[in-house]
Amino acid sequence: MAPKNKSKKATEEPVEASEPEHVTPEKTQVNNDRVVFGVDLDDPQDADDDAHVLAPVAKYAILAMICLMSFSIRLFAVVRYESVIHEFDPYFNFRTTKYLASEGFLEFLDWFDDRAWYPLGRIIGGTIYPGLMYTAALVYWVLNLLNISINVRNTCVFLAPLFAANTAIASYLLTKEVTKRSSAGLLAAAFAGIVPSYISRSVGGSYDNEGVAIFALIFVFYLWIKAVHTGSMFWSAGCALAYFYMVAAWGGYVFIINMIPIYVLVMIFAGRYTPRIYIAYSTFYALGSLMAMQVPFVGFNVIKQAECAGSHGVFVLLQVYCFVNWLRNYISASSFRRLVLVGAGLLVAGFAAALLVLQLMGKVQWTGRSLTLLDPTYASKYIPIIASVSEHQPTTWTSYFFDLHILVPFAPVGLYFLFQNLTDGGIFVILYGTVAWYFAGVMVRLMLTLAPIACILGAVGISSTLRKFFGVLTRPSTFVAQKDGVQQVPKVLALGVVAGLLMMLLSYSLHATYVSSMAYSSPSIVIEAGRTQSGERVNFDDYREAYFWLRQNTDANSKIMSWWDYGYQMSAMANRTVIVDNNTWNNTHIATVGRALASTEEEAYPILKSLDVDYVLVIFGGVTGYSSDDINKFLWPVRIGSGVYPDDMPAERDYYSSAGSFDVGPGGSKVLHNCLAYKLCYYRFGEVMTDYQRPAGFDRARNTEVGVKNVKLTHLEEAFTSEHWIVRIYKVKKQPNVEATTAIKKARLSEASAEEKDVSKEVTRFLGCSTGEDMLGNDRVYAGGPSGANYNLALHHAKEKNKRYFAVARVAGEGHAFAFNKLPVNEADLDGNDDGCTRVCKDSHSHACGCADGGCADVNVAPGKGQEHNRRWAIYEREMN
């Protein structure tokens, strides 16, 4: 090893091991704690001398090649499937960009979309992050202004690969600013350009917000570090402007507005505060907040949202800290300490109290996704609509290695080298890496925020290691440091380490290319089913086939109901009105659709008519083995629907088999077999031979024989089934004419009268009322609709279910009813004098039917203590023989 503190002569000329007189004891002293694999981390020869490593032309040429590589690796889908938009959300972005490009900026801001969320509609300009659309439209306008002919679709398809090249440049700038080394910056750029995690959201056709937002994220952090290093208001204002673009592009701006204040706090408490930080943060916070409020969808959320409260608190704290620093020059040390303790306590307590009061008043709100990051179980417990999204699930360990590859082990190495030489920029990178790694573990979507910093840390680790061992290879082989038993690492070992690292880098590039080609370049609109024996790809194009059928064979004003996953695609490709789509802004509307899919056909039909639905679309994979179909997703409509309509549809447990599993086979739940989604998916499926070694009606997606093969439909009829049965469309039959309906009603009333005469002979005893369902038996069986408003129908329900007790809660012409055998409370605990309790039944003024919801409001009774719903259950006991 070369000695520390070498003289000029020792540096210029090799020192022979046989001539120890040239090496003084002082020059051979080595700190063993700073030796890694025989390489001295403090050796000046290992210090960075970036100016002599790469010429500027070479650096920029390498960076240009990295940008070209970043762009090209994302074009597999374009070459393989032509220029198409991928996934679901990008179709909405594409549709809105077309509108913006053709109608202009002002019309876009005022656009009310009546083809989404029927009958509610949606205001587009004020409910989206418009940065992606503005960027694509601007590129489209500029290129056409330059007489470069390109359509909107191709602009959208190639925008994400283009910004991937920009992300590589931003990663280079940030890494170079932190480490002051172009070599580390170039390696970080190469990593970021082809990291699989980022490729997953930026391939050609993946026209989503993250395609441009990751560039904005890294560029904001580069400008922030530049502002901290220089203390310049110019760079701070540039950082605020980049932050404004980030706010316009993606909701991930919340990460920035929390990451930077955390960094400022750490710098203050670590004793590394400088006036440069004050200038940088004060300028960034003031300008950034003002500009963020100009985005219509964000507006005052940057002030009111709880996620942004930390940035306000840090701004106030920074002003107080500077004032206290100024004040300490004018008061004694003891007075200063007392002032700091009291002031800090009052400041923290006041800020916490204000935040708590605003939270309780509803002025400051947490979003469901943010609460899920703080408590990973929150969404699954309270907001199933968030938990139902696959990208909101926790990240598996395999995902880290699949999406980051060698960056997983080398990111900690980069942290090690940054800790060895702490700088202001290095501390920010360490904090960013730590926070991003935690968030990525909670939600798989946030692997996107981890990928850039993993690239930077991995680049620092690998480039620093390579420099150390390259230094060994270029030093004279004759020198051996003998002090403290530390020897120069053998060149053979150094060569092995260097060769091993280069092989790992090659492996990373091959892995990234493979993942981009095979895993992330298959648009969901076209399903890749494998290859033939000759090697040709087999694709299922059922989605586009079905959407084209809708566009050509249905009325232009037809309303299509499906689960929300497919709304954006239908609006863009079929150009038809949808009931719900991927925006998921109205949980009640989605729950209504979920309730319809989870109900029987008879119960769902009134819901379909109330929503004016003309066609119902379902996705089914039983023929092809396609697993992302509506049957495998079915429990989410149940959970979301029952969360809003707990009394009007079966609970999730009712759809499980007696063994406690979700089974579509013969052993499955009868409730599942009778629901609308099951019938629409398996209609005529019992006639199909999917496998000649299996019986007819064998579901290849769930590897079981279907439970009901002779499905009958009453209120819907099959309109279209795609080639591979993946998309099935049913037409909702129109209601019969008034005369026929009247005749049917009369016939049913006469039948009901006969039944009422039969059941009215039974003797019942009125026990009193309860305010909550918990006072009814756990074995209760629900009957809604007219049974909840008519004494005789409720009694008939109890008789049919062979139950001793029944309870009724009437709204108007309908209501809720339960039949059960066990009364959990004593009869004396029931209330019989409440005005809501004694409200008469619709069919019998001599019997009480209680009240529910609006029916209770009519008689001015309030909900029971601790009860979510306003109910008065009138409870009766039958005399059982």
Q: In the predicted model, is pLDDT for residue 751 greater than 70?
A: no
- Confidence class of residue 428 from pLDDT cuts 50, 70 and 90? very high
Rounded-to-integer distance, Cα 296 and Cα 298, Å: 5
Q: In the predicted model, is pLDDT for residue 462 greater than 80?
A: yes
- Contact in structure between 580 and 102 (CB atoms under 8 Å): no
Neighbouring C-alpha atoms within 13 Å toward the C-beta of 498: 16
What is the per-residue pLDDT for 142?
Answer: 96
Q: In the predicted model, is pLDDT for residue 21 greater than 60?
A: no
What's the mean pLDDT in 557-564? 96
% of the chain beyond a pLDDT of 70:
85
Q: In the predicted model, is pLDDT for residue 51 greater than 70?
A: no
> Ramachandran region of residue 484, left (φ > 0), alpha (ψ -120 to 50) or beta?
left
Q: In the predicted model, is pLDDT for residue 545 greater than 70?
A: yes
DSSP string, 494-537: HHHHHHHHHHHHHHHHHHHHHHHHHTSS--TTSEEEEE-TTS-E
What is the per-residue pLDDT for 344?
Answer: 73
pLDDT in tens, 177-201: 999 999 999 999 999 999 999 999 9
Q: In the predicted model, is pLDDT for residue 824 greater than 90?
A: no
- Contact in structure between 267 and 273 (CB atoms under 8 Å): yes
- Per the document, the length of the chain is 881
pLDDT in tens, 269-287: 898 999 999 999 999 999 9
What is the per-residue pLDDT for 49?
Answer: 47
Helix or strand holding residue 561 (H, E): strand 559-561
Q: Are strands 815-820 and 716-721 parallel, antiparallel or unpaired?
A: unpaired
pLDDT in tens, 804-816: 999 998 887 788 8
DSSP 8-state class, residue 598:
H
Non-local CB neighbours of 62 within 8 Å, separated by 6+ positions: 54, 186
% of the chain beyond a pLDDT of 90:
56
Give the right CATH number for 543-732 from 3.30.70.260, 2.40.50.140, 3.40.50.1820, 3.40.50.12610.
3.40.50.12610
pTM metric for this prediction: 0.75
Round the average pLDDT of the chain to a whole number and report it. Answer: 85
pLDDT in tens, 132-175: 999 999 999 999 999 999 999 999 999 999 999 999 999 999 99
Determine phi and psi for 808, rounding to 5 degrees. -130, 140
Q: In the predicted model, is pLDDT for residue 259 greater than 60?
A: yes
Alpha-carbon dihedral angle through residues 573, 577, 579, 580, given to the nearest 10 degrees = 40
What is the per-residue pLDDT for 673?
Answer: 95
Q: In the predicted model, is pLDDT for residue 739 greater than 50?
A: no
Non-local CB neighbours of 552 within 8 Å, separated by 6+ positions: none
Of the candidates 650, 621, 620, the residue with the CA atom closest to the CA atom of residue 637? 650
- Among the residue ranges 337-346, 403-412, 658-667, 819-828, the one predicted with the least confidence is 337-346
Q: Are strands 781-785 and 805-810 parallel, antiparallel or unpaired?
A: unpaired
- Give the start-to-end residue ranges of the domains of the chain: 210-365, 543-732, 763-878
pLDDT in tens, 764-800: 888 888 888 777 877 888 887 778 888 888 888 888 8
What is the per-residue pLDDT for 18?
Answer: 38
Q: Which of residues 88 and 16 earns the better pLDDT score?
A: 88
What is the per-residue pLDDT for 19?
Answer: 37
What is the per-residue pLDDT for 590?
Answer: 94
Q: Which of residues 2 and 728 earns the better pLDDT score?
A: 728
In the sheet that holds 615-619, the strands lie side by side as 577-578, 559-561, 615-619, 727-732, 716-721
